[in-house]
Structure 1
Amino acid sequence: MHSNGKFCAPFLFLVCAALFGTSAAADTEKSDIDNLVQDAAQAIMQQYKIPGLAIAVTANGKQSFYNYGVASRETGRKVTRNTLFEIGSISKTFTATLATYAQVNGRLALSDNPGKYLPQLQGSQLDKVTLINLGTHTAGGFPLQIPDDVQNNEQLMDYFRSWQPLFAPGTYRTYANPSIGLLGMIAAKSMNIPFDKALEAQLFPKLGMHGSFINVPSSNMPLYAQGYNKQDAPVRLSPGVLAAEAYGVKTSVQDLIRFVEVNLNLTQTDATLKRAIADTHIGYFQLGPMTQDLIWEQYGYPVSLDTLLEGNSDKMAYERQAATELTPPQPPQQAVWVNKTGSTRGFGAYAAFIPEKKLGIVILANKNYPNEPRVRLAYQILSKLDCCSRAEH
């Protein structure tokens, strides 16, 4: 990643020329970056038996798309930039953005307690945490998933009202769907609109994401990829309590790279949305080399691959981690690698971007496979692009 590192190889001029159009080499049929993506993607697909893979890269506002395999083994339909994938917990970044958007519009304050918006929770232990705690997994010890016996909103409120923390708010990070789900409920309630409509009718259109959904309409179902679980059985997301808020978004590589570009400030948006996006990049807690923003996770850049692999490991998802509150919170940074993984039973996703370098990547697959190869692939590609970018200057 450094200018004297192995990534800046002798063929660098050819790669950069092909990417940035600085010479006749830009007309070469296959640039080295294309070959790098293709070779790495095919290796991952073969190793993990992934039917279809969609990759989008943005470099200084220039998008590149790489689509491989099929959206469905049964139909043989090819993956395209418009194929819809389940993105699992990357959905949480939209929930966080909805909350900051509500805040910028004066509908809520992230420093508030949940009981201000849900009177059922007033006086409960949960009413002692802030909305920031909900959006940073630091409420005090929620489990990863909503308990199976919670099947409706009334049971959910009973669960939240009787919840008992394992430790004080803001002292440990426990990655959790219930807390971000609750933040999504509160954000939507503050806007007087159901959560799915808040995303589909307000946030997605404002982001320019016109092919993204919580509930895929019948007219778009042909674009919805078939997912496959670790046993290669076909599966798709089942509706559940707080599924929409925590892991329910279906989107395309084309729409998701646009969202990355909005986060990179490469796309024109109104001042309100721009502020809301920036507010999701505020750092609230430190966990070793990782800074916990509002759902997004960031690392000082340049960053080592080992650090990213550790930060996106099962250990971070399933075990509690001591967290140090940043006082005051850290304003949005430029020299950082920002990322989020997402999985459902039949899909695997990863998004990452580097504001300082104006680089970003999205990797979507219709198979549940480990985080490590996703992070490795993204690191390999963005490192090459960074090397080219610096050579240009």
Structure 2
Amino acid sequence: MTRMRLIHKRYATLLLLASSASFGNLAMANAERSPIDSRLQEAAQQVMQQYNIPGLAIALTVDGKPRFYNYGVASKETQQAVTSDTLFEIGSISKTFTATLATYAQASGQLSLTDSPSQHLPQLRGGAFDQVTLINLATHTAGGFPLQLPDEVQNRAQLMDYFKGWQPKYAPDTYRSYANPSIGMLGMIAAKSMNLPYEEALEHRLFPMLGMFNSFITVPANKLPLYAQGYNKQDVPVRVNPGVLAAEAYGVKTSSSDLIRFVEENLGITPVEEKINRALMDTRVGYFTHGAMTQDLIWEQYAYPVQLNTLLDGNANKMIYESNAVTPLNPPLAPQQAVWVNKTGSTGGFSAYVAFVPEKKLGIVLLANKSYPIEPRIRLAHQILSELAEN
């Protein structure tokens, strides 16, 4: 065995020991152990070994109660163990908070999702971008934005110029093109309707109302020890770079404990004030379909029970990198109970997945400080929630 292989084997062994120790501490903290605990641990460690994941935080909500499973380390350098308070970058799951901010602004009478962008950004009046609605921005159906803004867009003035000159590839409501620029603009508009910068609207208004006090766009100095180190596919340490509309599209850092609370609020398990509840429900209205997937406001849902292959198809690369024809729902579909609701999220050094089933009052959060594929996240979540649903 070469020296490098020996080092890698020793690191993997240490990682599993750290994982087991973390799990053991968790088990002692929980008075009741579920039969699924050992299977979850085995499946989680298999994924960690296969993709060389340093740390993994899993949270479940079952029978109205959260359960936490923490494995490995938040940083290879410090060897600090992952906990339910460790902060992870959640990538595009951040978009669900952008959508919730917009629906909260609507519930507060500050905007309508049927508004055009220029009703809030008059400088965009008259262009093609003014022909879409805020619903289009939240459902990726504005007409064909790229996944990312062009590199030359580096400030607010250049951003406005970009949207003034934007020309759609498709008519609104006809194609779904997964994109950061459109949801980013929804966040900007929602915050502007509240007379707040986006970061302040999220950190000082929305997160406190959701009881998420360990969630941030900019991690404050006193919380930096909780911020996990991310690792890219080559195992190089990385963290997300700030950029134009990054906060609105993929900028949230949060913990498994905060994120499972958000899931429980969406499930109606954890009570919230009436406007927030209305906002959460409004994000789960279905507007378009593509195959088995119904596009809500950022959330994507599937009729439940759902086959694993259906979820894999709905979260495949073609849904991220290609434009796909959609069918509008007229009238829109009210929030459903017998559905699997999900959202993936990734940055250069972190990977995340959230899914919940309202009918079963079940939900799962997966957070990792390593860039690894979407498919194993969905396989793990589907395995766990399917077993729980049968019990």
TM over 0.5: yes
Amino acid aligned to 1:240? G
Which amino acid in 2 is paired with 1:237? V
Kindly state the Cα deviation for residue 79 of structure 1 after the two structures are TM-superposed.
0.2
Aligned to 1:10: none
Matched, 1:359 2:362: yes
> What does residue 318 of structure 2 align with?
315
Correspondence for 2:53 = 50
Cα offset, 1:252, TM superposition? 0.1
1:7 counterpart residue number: none
Partner of 1:374: 377
| Corresponding position of 2:9 | none
- Paired with 2:37 and 2:170, the residues of 1 have a C-alpha distance of 49
Deviations 1:263-315 (A, max 9, x none): 00101111100000000000000101000000000000000000000111111
Q: TM-score, normalised by structure 2?
A: 0.92
Q: Which amino acid aligns with 1:367?
A: K
Identify the residue that residue 24 of structure 2 maps to in structure 1. Answer: none
**Which of 120, 123, 126 is matched with 2:123 structurally?**
120
SS in 1 for 2:69: strand
Residue by residue, what CA displacement relative to the aligned partner does 1:114-159 show, whole Å, maximum 9, x if unpaired?
Answer: 0000011100100000000000000000000011110000000000
Deviation string, structure 1 residues 26-82 (Cα, Å, up to 9, x no partner): 978x64311111000000000000000000000121111000000000110000000
Report the Cα distance in structure 1 between the residues aligned to 2:204 and 2:348, rounded to whole angstroms: 27
Is 2:99 the counterpart of 1:86?
A: no
Q: Secondary structure at the match of 2:67?
A: strand
Q: Secondary structure at the match of 2:367?
A: strand
Which residue number corresponds to residue 228 of structure 2? 225
Alignment of 1:90-109 (within 5 A): 90-109=93-112
Rounded Cα–Cα distance in structure 1 between residues aligned with 2:150 and 2:367: 28
Counterpart pick for 1:303 among 303, 306, 323: 306
Query: How many angstroms apart in 1 are the aligned matches of 2:235 and 2:156?
Result: 33
Paired position in structure 1 for 2:14:
none
- Distance in structure 2 (CA, Å) of the matches to 1:219 and 1:112: 40
Write the distance in 2 (CA, Å) between the matches of 1:149 and 1:169: 26
Structure 1 Cα separation of the partners of residues 211 and 376 of structure 2: 29
> Does residue 1:258 correspond to 2:261, yes or no?
yes
Give per-residue Cα distances to partners, 1:306-349, cap 9 Å, x unaligned: 00001111111001110100001000000000000000000000
Aligned to 1:156: 159
* SS, match of residue 327 in structure 1: strand
**C-alpha RMSD over aligned residues:** 0.9
Q: What do the CA deviations read for 1:79-111 (whole angstroms, capped 9, x no partner)?
A: 000000000000000000000000000000000
Amino acid at match of 1:267: T
User: What code does the residue aligned with 1:379 have?
Assistant: H
Residue matched to 2:330: 327
Identical counterparts, % of pairs = 69
Q: By how many angstroms is 1:207 displaced? A: 0.4
Structure 2 counterparts to residues 1-393 of structure 1, below 5 A: 31-388=34-391
Any idea what SS the aligned residue of 2:276 has? helix
Q: Deviations over 1:209-254 (max 9, x none)?
A: 0000001000000000000001100000111000000000000000
Paired residue secondary structure (1:269): coil
Unaligned runs of 5+ in 1: 1-25, 389-393
Q: Measure, in 2, the Cα distance between the counterparts of 1:72 and 1:41.
A: 18
**How many residues are paired up?**
362
Letter in 2 for 1:318: Y
Mapped to 2, the partners of 1:31 and 1:155 lie a distance apart of 54
State the shift of 1:163 in Å: 0.3
**Within 2, Cα distance between the matches of 1:256 and 1:145?**
25
Structure 2: stretches of 5+ with no match in the other structure: 1-29
> Using the alignment, how far apart are the partners of 1:167 and 1:322 within structure 2?
10
**2: distance between equivalents of 1:231 and 1:150?**
28
What is the alpha-carbon distance in structure 2 between the residues aligned to residue 96 and residue 125 of structure 1? Answer: 22
Change (3 A) 1:360 1:151: same
- AA of the residue aligned to 1:200: E
